[in-house]
Structures are given as C-alpha cells and as structure tokens.
Amino acid sequence: MRVLLDACVLFPSVLREMLLGAARTGAFLPLWSERILEEWARATRRLPAGAEAVARAEIAAMRAAWPESEVAVDEDLLRTLSLPDPDDRHVLAAAIAAGAEVLMTLNRRDFPPRTLARHGLLLREPDGFLTELHHEGFDLVGVASDVLARAESVSGREQALRGRLKRAGLPRLGKALAVSPTAGHPT
C-alpha cells in the first residue's frame, strides 16, 4: 500500500516514529514530496533551538531509508486542483503523482472525501490506520516499545505506553496495544 504522509503527521515525534516504524514492518510504503518535508522542517523553528537541525537529520535518514518515497509534484496538475485551503493542493498533487492509495493527514476538513475519491485516494487519520495495521498482524507492539524507549530516554522517566500513545493522538492504538505484550512497561 502506498501512503502519502502530510507534514502534520510528520511533525509530532511519537506520531512520526509510529508511522515510520509501521512502514519498516512492511505494512506500507511511506511517500512525501520535498515541499512536505520542508514544511515539517520549517514548523520546527517554533520549537527550542536545535529542533530544525534534528528534523533535517531525520529527513536525511528517511530519504536514505526510502529513496523511492520522494515524489515530484507536477505544477500543471497542481494548478488544476481545488481544495478548501489552496495551500494544501501540493499535498493532493503529491499523492496523485505518487500513485498513493491513502492520504494520511490530521486535517480532515481540508481534504473533502469526494475530491480525494475522484483521484482514487482515501483519507486516513493515523490512529485508525495504525490500529487496523495492528489488528492485521503487523508488529506494532515492537514499534511502540521502541518508540516508548526513545521517549523515556529523552524525558529521563518511565512512561506508560497507553498514556504516551494517547498524548500522541493515538488513543485507539494505545488501547489495542494495552491488551498485547508491551515489553514489561505498564499500560
């Protein structure tokens, strides 16, 4: 499955790490455009010093891990598209150019389902998407354990997996994983 990731799902670290971890299991091929990655990097300027450099290093790692994932946006196609927020047309154009089946975003209102359907695209939000992948048998317990370990390393304190995922906007996934082994961490 080919899934275009909007900048809004790449910006939050736990959400991004869960999505990319799921992609590493072979569940889907993540896709993006240069502009989407740049949007994410620029958004980190609002964070403490050094955040943009970290984002750019992560972008380089993503490009190395998935060299086939970056798509060029056809400017002619871009001009023909209409969305409630014209600034989001590049995301739709990238999804179309990539041959994506899914457009992953948190901005549901900016991507009308009928518009996406005309281009063979389905809009998905990360929580439901990742929960379905877990139920389909992809190892999201392992992914979540790795993400939690990194979060604990950064914060310097132990965290409950379910609570961490809930704070990351993944409450359904957290609940689904709570009934699965979680590498010894409390749920």
Q: Residue 105 — pLDDT band, cuts 50, 70, 90?
A: very high
Alpha-carbon distance values, 82 to 86, 93, 160, 173 (Å) = 7, 10, 43, 33
Pairing of strands 122-124, 102-104: parallel
pLDDT, tens digit (0-9, with 9 covering 90-100), for 112-162 = 999 999 999 999 999 999 999 999 999 999 999 999 998 888 888 898 889
Give rounded-to-5 percent helix, strand, coil for the chain: 60, 10, 30
Query: Is 168:15 a contact under the CB 8 Å cutoff?
Result: yes
Question: Which tops the pLDDT comparison, 171 or 51?
Answer: 171
pTM: 0.91
Domain ranges in the chain are 2-124, 130-178
Burial class (CB in 10 A: 0-12, 13-18, 19+), 25: middle
Q: Is the model's pLDDT at 49 over the cut of 90? A: no
Write phi, then psi, for 33 (nearest 5 degrees): -115, 165
CATH class of 2-124: alpha beta
As a whole number, the mean pLDDT across the chain is: 92
